[in-house]
Structure 1
Amino acid sequence: MRESTFPLERELGMRWYASDGDGIGGRLRSSPSDFIVEEIPIEGKGGTAGPYLICRLTKTNWELQHAVREIAKRLGISHRRIGWAGTKDRNAITTQWISIYDVTEEQVRGVQLKDIVLEPLRNANEALALGQLEGNRFALVIRDTDPNDLAGRVEAITGTVREAVPNFFGLQRFGAIRPVTHAVGEWILRDNYEQAVLTYIGLPFPSENEDVRAVRTAFLETRDPAPALRNLPVQMNYERAMLQHLHNNPGDYAGALRELPPKLLSMFVSAFQSYIFNCALSRRFDDGVALTEPVPGDHLVFANGRTDTVTATNAAAAALHIRRGRCSIALFMPGRGNSSGPVLKEPVMDGLLAEKNITPDDFARASRFVGTKFEGAFRPISLKTEIEYSTGETDVTLKFTLPPGHYATTVCREYMKADPVRMV
C-alpha cells in the first residue's frame, strides 16, 4: 500500500494505492479518442415489443445529461422520457444504450447533432434504468508518461490490478471540473436547500474560466440571481434554470433544486454516499487491514447475490472463498434503511455519518424530496480485472472490462499515481 499525496484525492477519500512502487505519471484523455468506452448491454432486456425504443447512442465529448436534453429537444419531447443504464464520461468517445418512450424509428433517424450518432435498435416493454448493463469495455491511452523502465513498471502495476486495487468511486463521480456533487448532496441530507443551491451555483474552482469564477463568487456573496443570469454563459443551462427560478421566486431554494433533471438531482445524494464509502475504505487501510484479508465484522457478497458476515469462526473459510473468487469483501453504503431486513452494522461508516450528524431519517427525507429510494447497497471494496497493455516510448495503452458502477479512472490512478486532474 502507498498513500496518496494529492489534496483533491485526499479530500474525496481516495487516500491509498494498492501498489507500493512509483507511478508512470502521464496524462489521460489528451483527446476524446484516448478514452473509448463501449457499454455491454444485457441481451434481450425488456423483450422486443413495447412503447420504448432502444437506441444505441455514440457521442464524442458530450456530457450525458446535456446530450439527452438536446436529443429530447430535437424530438420535441420531455427529457424525462429518455432512460439509460450507465452515465458515461464527457471527454471520451462513448457508446451506450438508451430508451426513449413513444417515438418512432423515423423520428430518431431524423435527429442530427454534431458528434452524436443515434441508431434505433428495437422496441422494449420497459425503460432502461441505471445499472441495467453487464459492464463496460475500455480502450485507453495514457500519454507523456515517465519513460524510465516504463514497461517494467507497467508490468508490475498490471500484476497488482489483476489481484486487487481499492474500488474507489472516481473523481468524475463528484464532478470532474468542480467536484462539489457530494457536498450538494450533504446539504440536501441536512435539509438545507439554500446551502445546496449556493454550493452548486456559487462555489468556484481554480480550473474554471476566470469570468465564470467571478460570477459564482459574486452570487455566493450577494445571493442575487439577476447579475449571475446576465453574466453566466448560455451553455450553463442547469445553473441558469435554477437562477431563473430564484429570480421569479425569491428564496425558494427547494424549488430551484427541482429545476434540475430528477436523475441529476438524485446524483447529489448518491455522490455523498460514494464519498462516505471512499472515506470508510481509506479508514480500513489506515488501520492496516488488507483489501482481500477478511476480519470479523466484514460483510461478504457472493457471485449469486448472497451475503454473509465474517466471524472468528468462519474467517479462514471466508479467506478461501475470496481467494477462489467466490465472494468479495463489501461495505454497506448508507441509506434510509429497510425495515423489512436486518440492521447492518458498519462501524466505520456509522462513525463517519455520526461525525456529520446524518441519520437514516435524513436519507428518508431526502428520498421523498428527490424521488429516489436511497436504501443503501453493498459495494465490493476491491476491484480487479485482466489488463491487456502495450507500451511505446512514453505512451501506454490499456484495454480492460469492468462491471457496472466501477471506474476506469480507479484503474488508471493506480498506474499513474498523478494529480487527479490529469485524468479528466
Structure 2
Amino acid sequence: MMRTPYPLEEELGMRYYASDIPGIGGRLRSRPEDFIVEEIPLPFTDADDGSYLICRLSKTNWELQRAVKEIAKRLGISHRRIAWAGTKDKNAVTTQFISIYDLAPEAVGRVHLKDISLEVVGRSQHPLTLGGLVGNRFDITIRDCIPEDLAARVQAVTEVAAAGIPNYYGLQRFGVVRPVTHVVGEKILNGDYEAAAVTYIGRAYPLETEEAQGARTHFAETRDARAALAELPVQMTYERAMANHLVANPGDYAGALRALPPKLLSLLVSAFQSYLFNCALSCRIDEGMSLTEPEVGDHLLFQDGREDIVTTRNMRAAQLQIRRGRCRIAIFIPGSGPVVPHGRMDEIMQELMQKEGIDAGDFERASRFVEMKFDGVLRPITLSTDLQAEVSDESVRLGFTLPPGHYATTVCREYMKADPYVMI
C-alpha cells in the first residue's frame, strides 16, 4: 500500500493506493474521445403500450442534468418526466439509456442539439431507476505518461488491479471542479439549511473562473442573494435558481435548497454517505486489515446480492468464497435505520458518525426533507476487473467493465498516482 501525497484525496478519505509501484503520471481527458463510456442496460421488457419511451442517449462533453433539461425544453415537457439509470461523466463520449414518460416516438425528432443524439429503442411500463443497469464499459486513453519503464509499470499495476484495489468513490462523486457535495450533504443532515445553501452557492474553488469565485465569495460574506443573481455566471443555473428563490423569499434557505432538482438534492446527502465509506475503508487500511482476507464481524456481499457475516465458525468457508470470487468483503454504510454492530468495521463507522455528529435520526429527517429514503447499504471494499492495457509511445489505453456505482477514475488513479485534478 502507498499513501497519497495529494491533500484533496486525503480530504475525501481516499488515502491509499493498492500498489507501491511508481505512477505513470499522464493526463486523462485531453479530449472527450479519450474517455468513452457505454452503458450496459438491464434487459428491456417488450411493452408496446408502456407509458415510458426508452431512448438511447449519446452525448459528447455534456453534463447529464443539463442535457436532460435541454432535451426536455426541445420536447416541450418537464425535465422531471425524464429518468435514467446512471449518471455519466461530462468530459467524455457517453452512451446511455433514458426513459421519458408519455411521449410519442416521433416527438424525438424535435430534438436537435449539438453533440447529442437520441434513438428510440422501445417502450416500458416502468421508468428507469438509478442503479438499474448491468454496468458500464470503458475505453480510456491516458496521454503524456512518464516514458521510463512505462510498459513494465503498466503491467505491474494491471496485475494488482486484477486482484483488487480500494473501491473508493471517485472525485466526481463529490464534484469535479468543486468537490463540495458531501459538505453540503453533511449540513443538510445536521438540519443547518442556511449553511448548506450558503456552502452550495458560496464556497469557491481555485479551478473556477475569477468571475465565479468572486460571485461566490461575495455571497458567502454578505448573504446578498440579489447581488449574487447579478454576479453569478449565467451557466451556473442551479446556484442562480437558489439565489432567485432567496430574492423572492428572503431567509428561506430550506426553500432555496428545494429549488435544486430532487435527484441532485438527494445526491448531496448520499455524497456524505460516500465520504463515510471512503474514510472507513482508509481506516481499515490504517489498522493493517486486509482488503481480501476477512476478519470476524466483516460483512460479505455475494454476487447474487446475498449477505452474510463472518464468524469464527464460517471463517474458512468465507476465505474460500472470497478467493473464488463469489463474494467480497463489504462495509455497511448507515442510513436512517438502526445499526447492529458486528465487528471492527461497524465500530469504525460508528466512530466516524459520532465524530461528524450524525446519527440515524438525522438521516430520517433528511429523508423527509428531500423526499428520498436513505437506507443503509453494503458496498464492497475492493474493485477488481479484467483489464486490457495497451502502451503506445507515451500513451496508455485501458479497456474494462465495471458494475454500477464503481468508478473508472478509481482504476485510472491506481495507474497514474497523479494529482486528482489532472483526471477531471
Q: TM-score range by the shorter chain?
A: over 0.9
Equivalent residue for 1:315? Answer: 315
Unmatched tracts of structure 2, length 5 or more:
none
Alignment of 1:8-407 (within 5 A): 8-45=8-45, 47-337=47-337, 343-345=340-342, 346-407=346-407
CA contact (8 A) 1:54 1:122 kept: yes
Mapped partners of 1:393, 1:80: distance in 2: 47
Q: How far did 1:311 drift? A: 1.6
CA contact (8 A) 2:14 2:168 kept: yes
Q: How far did 1:316 drift? A: 2.1
Mapped partners of 2:164, 2:49: distance in 1: 41
Q: Is 224-233 or 5-14 further displaced after alignment?
A: 224-233
SS at 1:256 equivalent: helix
After TM superposition, the score normalised by the length of structure 2 is 0.98
After superposition, give the CA deviation of every residue in 1:338-368 in whole Å (9 maximum; x if it has no partner). 6xxx735411111100111100010000001
Unmatched tracts of structure 1, length 5 or more:
none
After superposition, give the CA deviation of every residue in 1:114-148 in whole Å (9 maximum; x if it has no partner). 11101111111000000000000000000000000
Q: How far did 1:155 drift? A: 0.3
CA contact (8 A) 1:109 1:120 kept: no
- Amino acid in structure 2 at the alignment position of 1:286: D
After superposition, give the CA deviation of every residue in 1:15-55 in whole Å (9 maximum; x if it has no partner). 00101110100000001000000000001257453110000
Mapped partners of 1:418, 1:375: distance in 2: 34
Mapped partners of 1:230, 1:206: distance in 2: 21
- Amino acid in structure 2 at the alignment position of 1:343: V
SS at 1:161 equivalent: helix
Mapped partners of 1:231, 1:221: distance in 2: 14
Mapped partners of 1:280, 1:47: distance in 2: 44
What's the RMSD between the two structures over aligned residues?
Answer: 1.0
Mapped partners of 1:420, 1:295: distance in 2: 32
Q: How many residues align?
A: 421
CA contact (8 A) 1:138 1:400 kept: yes
Mapped partners of 2:304, 2:348: distance in 1: 26
Give the 4+ runs in structure 1 shifted more than 4 A.
45-48
Equivalent residue for 1:414? Answer: 414
After TM superposition, the score normalised by the length of structure 1 is 0.98
Mapped partners of 1:46, 1:242: distance in 2: 41
CA contact (8 A) 2:341 2:347 kept: no
